Amino acid sequence: MPHQVHAHDLRIETGRGALFTRMWWEGASLQDAPPPIVLFHDSLGAVELWRSFPQALADATGRPVIAYDRLGFGRSDAFPGALPADFIEAEGRDTLPLLRKALGFMQFIACGHSVGGGMAVETAGRHHESCLAVVTMGAQAFIEERTLDGIRVARAAFQQPGELARLARYHGDKARWVVDAWTETWLSPDFAGWTLDRALAEVTCPLLAIHGEADEFGSAAHPGCIAEGRGRAVLLPGVGHNPHRETEAETVALIADFLTRLAG
């Protein structure tokens, strides 16, 4: 790689609290840099839980990679109140413009894991003029019984003090809020009709949907729905809900190849 990638941390004010943000790039500025990859984390996620994936992605693509803790998660400030019903579309509507202004970029690639994949799709659908591509990993496109069953199992596990303490290593005293924001939102009858259909209809850029065949939170119907008529779905044999951790090298290679073809 011609780039010597470094991680730069900053905090971005939202008016409701500050977002902890990390950028992997050769310098502290994105001036003259290729359009960055913006990462959207999952329901229990945080910058630190991406582990080595962002660095590997920056190395493989030669692009800046930006990750941030959503408000209420990781090292960002606490979320003021309960998670709103429109929290998935809110990232593209409310947060992306703040990232753009603070870091100085316009065009970008949206890449998300699990519910973050839904956020990436929503963001791509909203920002036609500047989103060059979208990548999802283990994303859900609608409410499926397998998804709800997986969440019920996780909710029961988090009743054990040790499990919550493990999560608190990343979220501090916000850990209980993080768990409840995930489980109680997705298991609520009011959320049962949620889909990505409207956002997917608005996506005009190339799309790559990566999914593990053994994903405990969603069947192969999800990447099929996300990619149908607009991109490519890749099913990874023997892989569960976290392709970027379970098979990082293969996942990074898939994304790098996809973006290389895009540039070509």
Biggest CA-to-CA distance, the chain: 51
Q: Give SS3 for 116.
A: helix
Q: What span, in angstroms and rounded, lies between the C-alpha atoms of 135 and 120?
A: 7
Q: What is the pLDDT of residues 23-81, one digit of tens each?
A: 999 877 898 899 999 999 999 999 999 999 999 999 999 999 999 999 999 999 999 99
Specify the pTM.
0.96
In a 10 Å sphere around its CB, with 0-12 CB exposed, 13-18 middle and 19+ buried, how is residue 2 labelled? exposed
Digit-coded pLDDT (tens) for 91-133: 999 999 999 999 999 999 999 999 999 999 999 999 999 999 9
Quote the CA–CA distance of 227 and 37 in Å, as a whole number: 19
Delineate the domains of the chain, giving CATH numbers in brackets. 6-263 (3.40.50.1820)
Contact 223, 209 (CB under 8 A): yes
